[in-house]
Amino acid sequence: MGQGMRRGPESGRRNADPFWDSGAPGYRWMHLTEQLAVSKGLAAPLQTRALALVAAAIYGATIAAWDSKYAYNRRHPAELDSSVSTAATASASPSYPSEQAAAAAVLDCLFPDQTAAVDGMADQAGWSRIIAGVALLAANDA
């Protein structure tokens, strides 16, 4: 299983993914953008441009996601079914949609040779919330 899809030592136990559950969604994507820019040997102005484009994408996607969260007002899995255990604390905001992987499309454009890796990270980011029990599958599809 990939990062974000780990199972704990106890059967059926949910584990939060410390990589994707380490702060606001943009935190990891900005770090990953910086790593890609440096590993590609981009000049400083191009590194700054890449970071600015990803930051703008995250900002726009966050506004759209939060607007939709309150428009749809969907509850978290544990609020729908009390038997669902969570490995991470569900936010006080509604569950849907997720803004976890907003930067992937921009990174795909900036680093087309890394599309498979970036899309894999976007899947991991989304699935980490589902497996932790704090989001529904529909949150990733939005």
Q: What angle do CA 85, 95, 105 make, to 5 degrees?
A: 115
User: What is the pLDDT, as a whole number, of residue 10?
Assistant: 38
Q: Which of 62-71, 93-102, 105-114 has the lowest mean pLDDT?
A: 93-102
- Residue 8 included in any domain: no
Rounded Cα–Cα distance for residues 27 and 62 (Å): 13
Residue range 99-113: average pLDDT? 85
> What's the mean pLDDT when you consider all of the chain?
79
- Residue 4 included in any domain: no
Rounded Cα–Cα distance for residues 136 and 127 (Å): 9
Here the tokens at position 33 are 């953008």
- Residue 101 included in any domain: yes
- Residue 9 included in any domain: no
- Residue 86 included in any domain: yes
- Residue 59 included in any domain: yes
Domain range for 59 is 25-141
More confident residue, 122 or 78: 122
**How many domains, in total, are found in the chain?**
1
More confident residue, 130 or 140: 130
> Given phi > 0 = left and psi -120 to 50 = alpha, else beta, which region is 11?
beta
